[in-house]
Structure 1
Amino acid sequence: MRAASRMPQLPSDEEIAAALAKSAAVAEAVAGGTGTPDVQGEDSAVVRPSAEEQAKRKAARDKAVNTKPVLTRVFQVIIAVFYPIVLLVLAIRLVTTSTFLWIEYHRPGFPIDSFGFSTEDRLTYGSYTVDYLLNFAPPRYLGDLVNSIGNPLFLTREVGHMADVKTVIVMAFLSALLLAVIMAIGVIYLSRRSFGGNRRAFFAGSIATLVLIIALGVFAATGWEGFFTDFHKIFFAQGTWTFYTDDTLIRLFPSQFWLDSGIFIGAFVLVVSSLTLAFTWPTRERRVAVIAAQRPGRRAA
């Protein structure tokens, strides 16, 4: 004979009441936001953070995402400050070329040399002078030059002044090169870590450049001779940079040459900085793009 199957036992009233009470407690905790017990077993529970604590954590995360690193701000300031200097030295470098000499000596209205230098003589001797500023030759590079009748082309004091000019030019070019390298490092860093960071840096730099070049332009236009004299007093010792009208340096580089050079430098810096300002202007589309780029791992400028 088979044994009779055992009937399943139904839960008692006490067990049913305990289960209902536990479910009610869970529902009340969820509705009140005071911590929801997550049942993992019969007697264990994990309490979730309160709504206030969750809001604090979210605010901390948002602040971490939107806060720019210190290095980002540093590079933006560096680029904005170095930009006018590098641009100004670049303009000076364009002036110290044989090409600029050729344009000057051949342009209509450039004063002729009343002591006998032809345009070709000026271009030849002037090119030697410019080459000396850019090469590693000693002062005798100019001191050994002679004119068509075999006399020294430059006097000793003229060679000494050009040696001083070379020192100033080389220091300016090397300093600008160093600043340009630092700017390049900053541009690379900002392009990787700060969306729009380069735009903001060059925008600020272009404004600073425009203010600087306009101020210098007004000062030079209202008194060119005074401006030219004050410039030489800053970089050269008194009495080492004045010459007679029949000295070779004055014949190669008369006052009109320096006036034209100043106009070219000012115009070049003004045009380039204005273009930079236009291309980095914070338009609505660019601001929207910056906001859209605000996500973890990439910070907006």
Structure 2
Amino acid sequence: MKDETPARAKSADPQQEPHLDTSGDTDEPAFSWLSPAEPTGNKKPATGKPATGPSAAAKPGQTTSGTAAAAKPGQTTTGTAAAGTAAATAAGATPVTPVTPSQPDSRAGRKAAAAAVEPSGADPSARGTSPVFKEPLPTSALQVRPPDEEVERRNAQRESAANAKPVLPRVMQVLLAVFYPLTLLILAVRAVTSPLFLWVEYNRPGFPGDGYGFSTDDRMTYGSYAVDYLSNWSGPRYLGDLMHRSGDKLFKDGEVSHMADVKVVILSTFGAGVLLLVLALVAILYLRKRSNGGVRRALFAGSLATLALILGLGTLAALGWQQFFTEFHRIFFAAGTWTFSLDDTLIRLFPGQFWIDAGIVIGALVLVAAVVTLVLTWPTRRRRGLAPNESTATANQA
């Protein structure tokens, strides 16, 4: 199969050679007008030859007046600005488009802009009439000194706040001083209501015997039941079911009822003593951490209060024991429930001399503990953290 397409006739005239002279070309890259315009700050100065020929002509959309240089699309240059741009272009530098200053966003920026606009040689007295609004600084009030009375009042408040001591440590000291004598008194009562004191009392020389037939062994046995009943959790049957050798009840119903009342008072006292002891330990631990010497001062005050209390009660008991004993029972027991005949078991086990000795032992134990505490907490100069006297130091050196 043959291609029958007619062949193109050759021209008899010779074809013109293409123009290859590059002496008039510029260094501007081809198709640069298609690329986006670079920011003004990122442009590099032109290092090529002066723009001549077609590249120096204005691009479409530009309008020039006078002697104008090449401008960017959409810009219009006139007068001196165009001349300056043309001169920059002729010198081989890329023209820089002037940047319009933006409005500052912050108040500090507005103040700086206003200060830059204000002439440097402006009269300070004319600033108040300037159309530019100037807001006073927020710290301008600190430059005004308050009156002397206000300054003195503030200084006094600062000194009082610095010298003021916390309230809670003082409260803890007072509570510890109050708890101390009560705790000692309850501990002494607990020591008396024990089988040991009962044995010592029945076996000591001079203790009166029972005129109705109880031996020392009988007293120790029956008395131990009565003392144990005060500190255990048994009911009235613990004493009510006890029988004498003769077959009669050892304790009458009135005696059992009174011992039940005594048990309530004793257990309540012991419970209060445990609570006071725990609170005293808490106060001691707190004062050891928060108040230097607070424990010593509290115990010293408590020992003084204990001495005053025990000496006062001892004086009342010594002046009239029977009256003191009666008033004591009236405080805790109803009238008529704590009086018995001489042949009742409670009177035979615990005669009047027993209660006198018990009062003496309680007072002696509390007195000894208070005196020891007073000596150990006496506020000497060394314990108060003060320097020793010069006379004492000289005597020690000699």
TM-score (norm 2): 0.57
Partner amino acid, structure 2, of 1:140: R
The structural deviation recorded for 1:241 is 0.4
Q: Which structure has the larger Rg?
A: 2
Pick the structure with more helix per residue.
1
Deviations 1:194-244 (A, max 9, x none): 110000000000111100110000000000000000000111000000001
Partner amino acid, structure 2, of 1:69: P
The structural deviation recorded for 1:177 is 1.1
Which residue in 2 is equivalent to 1:109? 206
- Find 1:196's aligned residue among 289, 293, 305: 293
Compare relative contact order (CA 8 Å, sep 6+) and give the higher one, 1 or 2. 1
Structure 1: unaligned runs, 5 residues or longer? 1-46, 291-301
- Find 2:217's aligned residue among 103, 120, 125: 120
The structural deviation recorded for 1:67 is 3.6
Partner amino acid, structure 1, of 2:286: Y
Partner amino acid, structure 2, of 1:114: G
The within-5 A match list for 1:159-238 is 159-238=256-335
**Aligned residue-pair number:** 241
SS of 2:285 mapped into structure 1: helix
- Find 2:228's aligned residue among 114, 121, 131: 131
Q: Percent identity?
A: 61
Structure 2: unaligned runs, 5 residues or longer? 1-142, 388-398
Q: Does 1:92 align with 2:189?
A: yes
SS of 1:288 mapped into structure 2: coil
Which residue in 1 is equivalent to 2:379? 282
The structural deviation recorded for 1:59 is 9.0
The structural deviation recorded for 1:124 is 0.7
SS of 1:277 mapped into structure 2: helix
Q: Does 1:155 align with 2:257?
A: no
The structural deviation recorded for 1:86 is 0.9
Distance 1:201 1:160 in 2: 41
Partner amino acid, structure 2, of 1:281: W
Distance 2:155 2:329 in 1: 61
The structural deviation recorded for 1:58 is 10
Deviations 1:146-187 (A, max 9, x none): 122221110000000000000111111111111111111000
Distance 2:369 2:159 in 1: 38
The structural deviation recorded for 1:141 is 0.6
Distance 1:143 1:87 in 2: 33
Distance 2:320 2:346 in 1: 23
SS of 1:265 mapped into structure 2: helix
Distance 1:198 1:59 in 2: 31
Structure 1's 287 and 61: CA in aligned 2 closer, same or farther, altered over 3 A? farther
Partner amino acid, structure 2, of 1:244: S
Partner amino acid, structure 1, of 2:218: D
CA-atom RMSD in angstroms: 2.4
Distance 1:234 1:158 in 2: 19
Which residue in 2 is equivalent to 1:26? none
SS of 1:285 mapped into structure 2: coil
Which residue in 1 is equivalent to 2:366? 269
